[in-house]
Structure 1
């Protein structure tokens, strides 16, 4: 039965791609299909890779596609606070299913309030992986609390597998840990982290934490803070309270 459902979903995906006539990416079409098929509010798909100097537990993210602003905001929020369903799915290799996000404050104290403010009430993340090799996640949200049915979960796993194959196709010709080739709105985050690392003579992990802390403290999107760093409008000093604006690099 699951093979029959996979065949149906693959057929629907290919039909939509044919109708798009090359004007939309495979992942974009798949995400739109996921929203419609699962009857959810939005979907984001990401590729994740460990930071070059990290221990493998703090993945950097390249956004592949998001169906709306809320999905984009949820992905950015998780990168800012360093926690959330996407990261849990990546670390554990299994789906993360949260039917009522309001009950998850203790699980993700940094992520949950912001996600609720964005309009997410339920979140579901499905890992993208080939065997033990984890590539990222397919992230689903709904604007009202509620579980996914067993059939929806089964179909979401199939859709995540189809998304994995789409990512693998795009990965051809790139190093397995390199997500920089993506049309990645977070590329500046990696650049800003490197600049902060040089300013403070510290590790990549510590530099990223300082960047995240500044964004969280000032209630700013992480990408906005990163751009201020790369534009040399924000320089980090040895003391967290002495971060300077409009300072030369």
Structure 2
């Protein structure tokens, strides 16, 4: 990757730290940028809610989002382990983890993934989530790629723990919970769009996101309007 492109991405992500921003869109952009910059097939992101339970908030593809959901439903996979230990988890060949995480490995193989790297979203001792990097090729990512992936995860973490809320943990919890609640209404809106236009969920999300960005609106606000029937996409 070019240094110019890398700088552009960090500026793009850091820019959200100084203004009111759409958190769900920010985290989705992070997963897409991670997949592109790190040359992996897909990326997913999980955050802890107010009770400390992990929730899926973003993924670069719809299939990856569903795989992340499966990890939480079965408590199987590298992302929950990464979150609970606060340490990176590397699975260079998912076939070797079939006994440990049978349902997760089966579904990951069905999608076409062969390896996964999970990176903690951590600031000092506080772990707020984990970033999953999936690839269709077995093997380790290079140390430089892992370092860059962790840097992107760190940027996202700092975005969540902004200076205006870092000294007030309750405000942070409310911000994260609001984002997690927004994810629910966004999923409902995706379903409405998918059914109305006979398209799949990934295409529905792309259409939803494009409409929100074109109108400079939050994904959650537009989603509520679609779900309650006051607006069409």
Residues 15 and 61 of structure 1: CA distance in aligned 2, closer, same or farther (over 3 Å): closer
**Displacement of 1:78 after TM fit?**
0.5
Q: Which runs of 5+ in 1 are unaligned?
A: 52-58, 189-249
**Unaligned residue ranges in structure 2 (runs of 5+):** 16-20, 188-233
Choose which of 130, 140, 144 in structure 1 pairs with 2:123. Answer: 130
Matched, 1:61 2:60: no
Residue 137 of structure 2 aligns with which residue? 144
Alpha-carbon offset, residue 170 of structure 1 = 11
Pair 1:180 & 2:210 matched: no
Two-structure CA RMSD over aligned residues (Å):
3.3
Q: Tell me if structure 2 keeps the 8 A contact 1:27–1:163.
A: yes
Question: Any idea what SS the aligned residue of 2:102 has?
Answer: coil
CA contact (8 A) 2:88 2:119 kept: yes
In the TM superposition, residue 105 of structure 1 has moved relative to its aligned partner by 1.2
Q: Is residue 81 of structure 2 the alignment partner of residue 84 of structure 1?
A: no
Asked if the contact 1:46–1:63 (Cα under 8 Å) also holds between the matched residues in 2, the reply is yes
Q: Against the structure 1 CA distance between its residues 81 and 47, is the aligned structure 2 distance closer, same or farther, given a 3 Å change threshold?
A: same
More helix by share: 2
Identify the residue that residue 37 of structure 1 maps to in structure 2.
37
How far has the Cα of 1:110 moved from its partner? Answer: 3.5
Kept after mapping to 1: 8 A contact 2:121/2:127: yes
Q: Does 1:113 align with 2:112?
A: no
Counterparts in 2 of 1:187 and 1:27: CA distance versus 1, 3 Å: closer
Q: Check whether the contact 1:126–1:138 (CA below 8 A) recurs between aligned residues.
A: yes
- TM-score, normalisation: structure 2: 0.63
CA offset at residue 8 of structure 1? 7.7
Find the aligned partners of 1:73 and 1:60 in 2 and give their Cα distance. Answer: 17
**C-alpha distance after superposition, 1:192-233 (max 9, x if no partner):** xxxxxxxxxxxxxxxxxxxxxxxxxxxxxxxxxxxxxxxxxx
The answer for the alignment partner of 1:221 in structure 2 is none
Contact 1:125 1:138 survives alignment (8 Å):
yes
**For the structure 1 residues 26 and 176, does the alpha-carbon distance in structure 2 shift closer, same or farther, using more than 3 Å as the test?**
closer
In structure 2, the partner of 1:158 is 151
- Inter-CA distance 62–169: structure 2 relative to 1 (3 Å threshold): farther
Larger Rg: 1
